[in-house]
Structure 1
Amino acid sequence: MNEGEAALAGLMEQLWRMAREVPPRPCSLARVGKRAQLPMSTLMRALSLLSGSGLVEVATREEGGGHVVLTAAGRDLCTNWFGAQPPTSDMRTTG
């Protein structure tokens, strides 16, 4: 897995953890960025890729902010990757 793939997997893990903490509410972009330790520009590029793959739905507001939620396909993928319960370790990788 290259660094970009690992970053996307780490972001999916954080989304999975957050979805399991407060289902079924969407997560704010600011909260996701903070939890994933990603600058907003990097977060938005990653979410764009995941959205294009049908794994997340992103809603942004014109004045800034917004939210993200895992789609059914995203939840299925996370269940396969991380199991029914969110992982307990922080899988963020360092390049």
Structure 2
Amino acid sequence: MQQSERALSGEITFEKNIVTTGKSIILFSSLEEYNVYLSLFNECKRGLDSFDINIRGEFFSVTWDYEQGPISGEPFSSYSDDSPTHVRNVTLKFITV
């Protein structure tokens, strides 16, 4: 959902919100490379635009579920280093639109 209105200065301001009326979709992975997790994390910060995902041959039009937290994971490292090489328990949360 998007709404626009004029501010006191005359500028048009836009506000976007998710209307949560769709079906919840949760994807889970026990272990992913850190670069994969980072690209998904950056993608979820891009906004509320919808996109299509393919789950076992079935396509869904979805957006990230910001109400439930769109992505989570735990850094996995077997030794001390600057950044993890993998992330475990990766959970992606979507809602259909």
Question: Normalised by the size of structure 2, how large is the TM-score?
Answer: 0.28
Q: Which is helix-richer, 1 or 2?
A: 1
Question: Normalised by the size of structure 1, how large is the TM-score?
Answer: 0.29
Q: Which is strand-richer, 1 or 2?
A: 2
| Rg larger for | 2
